Amino acid sequence: MPAKNTNIVDSSLVGEVWPAAAPAEDPVLYGQAALSPEGAFEVRSYQTFTLKYTVGRFGLDDNGSIRVVFRFFGDWGGLQMDDPKAPNYVTAITSLGTKPSLNFQRVGHSRPWMKALTAGISGGYLSEGDTITITFGDTSGGSPGFKMQTFVESGFEFKVLVDACAVGHYVPILDKPAISIVPGPPAEWRAAVSTLRRPGETFQLGVKAEDDWGNPSDQVEAKLRLETSVPVENLPATATFDKGRKSLLFEKLSIAEEGELRIKIFDADSDVLLCEAGPLIIEDGPYGGYWGDLHGQSGETIGITNSREYFDFARDLAFLDVTSHQANDFQVNNAFWEFLNELTAAYNNEGRFVTFPGYEWSGNTSVGGDRNIYFREEGRQIRRSSHALLPDQSDIHTDANDARVLFDALKDEDCLAYAHVGGRYADIEFAHDPKIETAMEIHSAWGTFEWLLTDGFPLGHRSGVVCNSDGHKGRPGASYPGASMFGAYGGLTCFYTEELSRDGIFDCLRKRHHYGTTGNRLHLTVDAEFRGGGKLFDLDPKAFDDATSSDVTSAMMGDIVQTDDTGVTLKVMANSPTPIERIEIRNGMEVVKTLRGYSEADLGNRYRVIWSGAEYRGRGRNTSWVGDATFKNAKITRMEKINAWNHERLLEIDGDNRVKWDAITTGNYGGFDVWLDTSKSAELNIETNHGSLKCELAKMGIEDIVLDCGGLERRLRILRLPEENPRRELTGEIKINLSASGDNPLWVCVTTEDGFQAWSSPIFIFN
C-alpha cells in the first residue's frame, strides 16, 4: 500500500476559524477517520475512495452529522447523489445498515474549506465505535469514479468535522485523511530564458515538459539536443532529462557579443523539434530585463500547496527572476506572517532570485478593494483590512479598515502597492496614493482589466502596468486556469532594472520601467523622442514636492516628461516568441494607429473569430459564450483554438463548414482560426447567446468586423489574416500630436497570433 500522505499544511499557521472550539485533543471524544486507498493519484483521473468515520465517545445524536470539507479552488468534479452512472457519484452507509442523508454544497462551509459534503443521521443515533462509510466515486452503479482536479497538490485533504450534539456546531477531528495528486505524462515541451541582457551578463535557461493541464511532468525520459542562434557560454550541446525530474535548469550562461538568442530544443534521437526559447536580446545598455510574478498565494490561505512549494515552483519550475507571496490578510495569523517573512529572507538570492515580503490587503470594494503590499525588507507590521477569519484579536488595533487608512498607515514604510481585480476589485477613485501605489495589475488568472488603468487617466493617475497570476494553485509564473472559475492564463511582468536586487526592482517600480504580458515572454521597448527636448522627472511632480527634473530628448516607458512640443515621435519594437498579429499605439483611451506586419494584399483564406469581455466588474463577471459559426459555400480545412485553456469545454468542428463552442471569458478573449476552401460567394454567419454577426467573406479587408454585445466590453469580432504570418519582430515609428490639456499617456498593446497580449507602462507627457 502507498505510504500515508504527511505533506499537509501546518494548521497552526492557517488562518481558519472553527466555531467556538479548536480540534479535540482527545481523539476518542469526537471520533476518528481513515481514508482508503492513500497514496498518489494522477490529475484528472477517475478514482474511488472510501472514508470511514468511527464515532467517538460523545456519540452522534439523532439529527447530528459529519461534514467532509474541501478547499474552494479545487476543480475536481462536483459531488452528486442522483445518478449512479455519472461521474462523482457518492454513497454512504452506517455500520447499522442505515443510510445517512447526503448533501453537497459548493459553498457550504467557511473559507477556505468551502466545498462541503454533509452526512446526516436521522431517526436514530450512533454510539461510540459505530461507523459511517462514505464512498467517493462509487462505481457499483456504473459511475467511472471520482474525477481528480487538474493541478498537482502534495496534500489533498478530506477534512472531517463532527456535529456530535446536533446543534450545528462542527468540530474538526485530529485525523487528516489525505492523498497526493501528481502530474500526468508529458504533452507539451516548454523552454524559457529572459528577454534582455547585456554582453557578459549571466542568465539561465529552463526546460520542462507539461502534462495536458500545465503541470510539469516527472514522467519524462529524453535526451535533448540544444541548438543556439549565437554562441552561449556554459550551455552544453546535449542534456539528459531523467524520469523523476520536473525540469532542467542551466545557470550562469552568458553571451559575449550583442545579438539575438533563440534556443531550439530537439529530441536527440528523433531530431524532432520539441520547443524553442527566446528571444533574448543581448544589448549594451543600462538595463537587463527580469521576469516576475509577484501575486499568488498558497494553501495556508485560500490556495493550494504550501508556501515552500510555492517559492520552489516559482524559481525551479516557472524559471522566474522575482516573486512574492500575497496571502489574504484576514486569513494571515501572526505565526504565518512571521513564517512568510522567514521564507522570503531565506529564498532571496540577489542576482539570481529575488523575493519580497508582502500580503494582499483584501478590503471590500466599498472601502477601496484589493491591494498588493510589498515591503523592501522583512519584519514590518502587517496592516490587515480586518480580522475576519482570525480568532486571535489581540492586534486588531493595527488594522487599516479602508484603503485611505491603509495608505496613511504605510506612508512612512519602505513599501509599494499594486491595485488589482480579484474576487473584489480595487476602487482607485476611492483611494490612491501615487507615492505607494505605482502600478495597476491589468491581467491575471481572473481575466483582463485594462479599465483599471484607463480609469485612472481622467483622475490624473500616473500608474505603470503589471500583470501577475493571482494564482491559487501553487504555480506562480505558470498558472493555468484548469477547469474552475478562472478563465485566463496568469500574467507576467518584465522589469527593466540595472540589477536583479530588491533595490533594483523597487527603483524600477517607482519609475514604472516595466511592462506586463498575459503569460508569454516577448521583448518590448517603447520610446518617445522630443524635437524640442523636455524635462524628465525623477518622481511624479504632482505627488512629490521634492521631485527634480533633467533635460532630455527621449524617454522610455513609464517616464513622466514635460515638453513644449506639440507632438512627439514614438518608437516601438516588439520581438516575440510567436508571430505578431498587431500592435495598437494608444494615447490614453484612443487608438492612434495599428501596426501590422502584413498588408491587405497579404490576406488569405484564414479567418479569426473572437469572443471577449465580461458581465461587469465584480465577482460574477464570467461571461458564458454559447454559439456556432457557419461558413456558407466554404469548407473548413484546418482549425486552431485560441486561449481554449479548459480542454473539457466545447470548441470543435461540426461537419465540414461549422464550428460550435461553449466557452467563458472574464475580461480576456478566446476564439479560433479557420483555414477555408472557399468561393467568392462564401458567407459567415455567427449565432451566439449574446448576439449574431454576418458577413460576406470576400468583402472582408484588413479591418475587424466588431459587434458590441453589452456587458463590460463584451464583443464578437471577426478578422481576416494571411494564410501564414512569419513576422515575430515588428517595429514602428509614429508621430503623435499631443493634447495641451492634461496628460498624454502614450502606451501600446501587442497581440500575438497565439492569443497572448502585452502592454507597456505609459509614458506620461504633458505641456
H helices within 107-182, ranges in order? Answer: none
Q: Specify the pTM.
A: 0.95
pLDDT per residue as tens digits for the range 271-285: 999 999 999 999 999
Contact (Cβ atoms closer than 8 angstroms) between residue 203 and residue 254: yes
Q: Return the closest-CA partner of residue 180 out of 306, 35, 14, 42.
A: 42
What does the block give as the cell for 530?
Answer: 522630443
What radius of gyration, in Å, describes the C-alpha atoms of the chain?
27
- 300-519 CATH, one of 3.90.1170.50, 3.20.20.140, 3.40.630.10, 3.40.50.300: 3.20.20.140
CB neighbours of residue 409 within 10 Å = 14
Mean of pLDDT values over 473-488:
90
- Rounded CA-CA distance 745/526 in Å is 12
Q: Where are the domains of the chain?
A: 11-182, 188-285, 300-519, 522-558+571-597+734-767, 600-724
Share of the chain above pLDDT 90, in %: 93
What is the pLDDT at residue 423? 87
pLDDT in tens, 70-128: 998 889 989 999 999 999 999 999 999 999 999 999 999 988 899 999 999 999 999 99
Which residues neighbour 657 within 8 Å (Cβ) at sequence distance 6 or greater? 630, 631, 632, 634, 635, 636
The pLDDT of residue 675: 97
Beta bridge partners of 147: 46
The 3-state DSSP class for residue 699 equals helix
Beta bridge partners of 415: 375
What mean pLDDT comes out for the span 134-150? 98
DSSP string, 277-315: EEEEEE--SS-EEEEEE--B--TTTTSSS-HHHHHHHHH
For residue range 645-672, list pLDDT tens digits in order: 999 999 999 999 999 999 999 999 999 9
Rounded to the nearest 10°, the torsion over CA 450, 455, 456, 460 is 140
Please tell me what DSSP assigns to residue 273.
E
Say yes or no to pLDDT of 11 above 50. Answer: no
Q: Please state, in angstroms and rounded to a whole number, the distance separating the CA atoms of residues 112 and 73.
A: 9
Residues in the chain, how many?
767
Give burial (CB, 10 Å; 0-12/13-18/19+) of 760: buried
Report the relative pairing of strands 437-444 and 464-467 from DSSP bridges: parallel
pLDDT at 6: 42
Q: How many CA atoms lie within 13 A of 126 on its CB side?
A: 35
pLDDT in tens, 408-441: 999 999 999 999 999 899 999 999 999 999 999 9
Full DSSP string of 558-604? T-EEEES-SEEEEEEEEE-SS-EEEEEEEETTEEEEEE-SS-GGG--
pLDDT band for 28, please (50, 70, 90 cuts).
Answer: confident
Burial environment of residue 377 by CB neighbours within 10 A (0 to 12, 13 to 18, 19 or more): middle
In the predicted model, what is the mean pLDDT of the chain? 95
* Confidence tier at 309 by pLDDT (50, 70, 90): very high
User: What is d(CA 577, CA 189) in angstroms, rounded to the nearest whole number?
Assistant: 14
Give the span between the Cα atoms of 465 and 345, in whole angstroms: 27
Across 3-17, average pLDDT: 47
Q: Tell me, what's the pLDDT at 27?
A: 61
The reported pLDDT for the residue numbered 10 is: 47
| 288 pLDDT above the threshold of 90 | yes
| pLDDT computed for residue 14 by the predictor | 53
Residue 679: per-residue pLDDT: 84
Span 524-551, average pLDDT: 96
Its CATH class, for the domain covering 522-558+571-597+734-767, is mainly beta
First to last CA, the chain: 74
Q: Which of 164, 96, 106 has the alpha carbon at shortest distance from 130?
A: 96
- Which band of pLDDT confidence, cut at 50, 70 and 90, is reported for residue 13? low
- Note the pLDDT tens digit of each residue in 32-69: 999 999 999 999 999 999 999 999 999 999 999 999 99
- Looking at the DSSP bridge assignments, the partners of residue 132 are 53, 94
- Give the C-alpha separation, 279 to 255, whole Å: 13
Q: Which residue has the cell 515638453?
A: 563
Model pLDDT, residue 195: 98
Average pLDDT over residues 458-477: 96
Smallest CA-to-CA distance from 514 within 494, 498, 537, 528 is with: 494
Interstrand relation of 514-517 and 492-497 (parallel, antiparallel or unpaired): antiparallel
C-alpha–C-alpha distance, residues 762 and 275, integer Å: 33
334, containing H or E segment: helix 334-347
Residue 170's SS3 state is: coil
Q: What nine digits make up the cell of 549? A: 527634473
**Are 749 and 584 contacting, i.e. CB atoms less than 8 angstroms apart?**
yes
Residue 524 has pLDDT above 90, yes or no: yes
d(CA 542, CA 551): 18
CA distance 690 to 692: 7
Alpha carbon distance 477, 290 (integer Å): 13
Nearest of 27, 48, 36, 32 to residue 5 by alpha carbon: 36
Confidence of residue 484 (pLDDT cuts 50, 70, 90): confident
Nearest 5°: phi and psi at 524? -140, 130
Alpha-carbon distance of 37 to 136, in angstroms, equals 11
Residue 77 has what pLDDT?
83
Residue closest to 469 by CA, chosen among 320, 289, 618: 320
2.60.40.740, 1.10.1060.10, 1.20.1090.10, 3.90.1150.10: CATH of 11-182: 2.60.40.740
Query: What is the rounded CA–CA span in Å between residue 504 and residue 523?
Result: 19
Ordered DSSP codes for 590-654 = EEEEEE-SS-GGG--SEEEEEEEEES-SSTT-PEEEEEEEEEEEEEEEEEEEES---TTS-EEE-
Q: Which three cell numbers stand for residue 740?
A: 495641451
Amino acid of residue 425: Y
Strand partners for 47:
146
Burial (Cβ within 10 Å: 0-12, 13-18, ≥19) of residue 698: exposed
Q: Do 300-519 and 188-285 have the same topology in CATH?
A: no
pLDDT value at 193 more than 70: yes
pLDDT digits (tens, 9 = 90+) for 369-401: 999 999 999 999 999 999 999 999 999 999 999
Q: Which residues contact 257 (CB under 8 A, 6 or more apart)?
A: 199, 230, 282
- Cα dihedral 691/695/701/706 (nearest 10): -10
Q: Which CATH class is domain 188-285?
A: mainly beta
CA gap 116, 195 in Å, rounded? 45
Q: pLDDT-based confidence at 25, cuts 50/70/90?
A: low
Structure letter (DSSP) for residue 228: E
Distance CA 412, CA 407 (A): 10
- With 0-12 / 13-18 / 19 or more C-beta atoms within 10 angstroms meaning exposed / middle / buried, residue 394 is exposed
Chain segment 435-449, per-residue pLDDT in tens? 999 999 999 999 999
How many angstroms separate the CA atoms of 186 and 208, rounded? Answer: 9
Task: Quote the distance between the C-alpha of residue 756 and its chain's center.
Answer: 13
Letter string b/e over residues 193-204, b meaning 16 or more CB atoms within 10 A of that residue's CB: bbbbbbeeebbb
Q: Distance between CA atoms of 740 and 755, rounded to whole angstroms?
A: 36
Of 43, 40, 110, 23, residue with least CA distance to 72: 110
Find, among 419, 517, 538, the residue nearest to 754 by Cα.
517
Residue 754, classified by CB atoms within 10 Å of its CB into exposed (0-12), middle (13-18) or buried (19+), is middle
Asked if residues 250 and 205 have their Cβ atoms less than 8 Å apart, the reply is yes
pLDDT at res. 585: 98
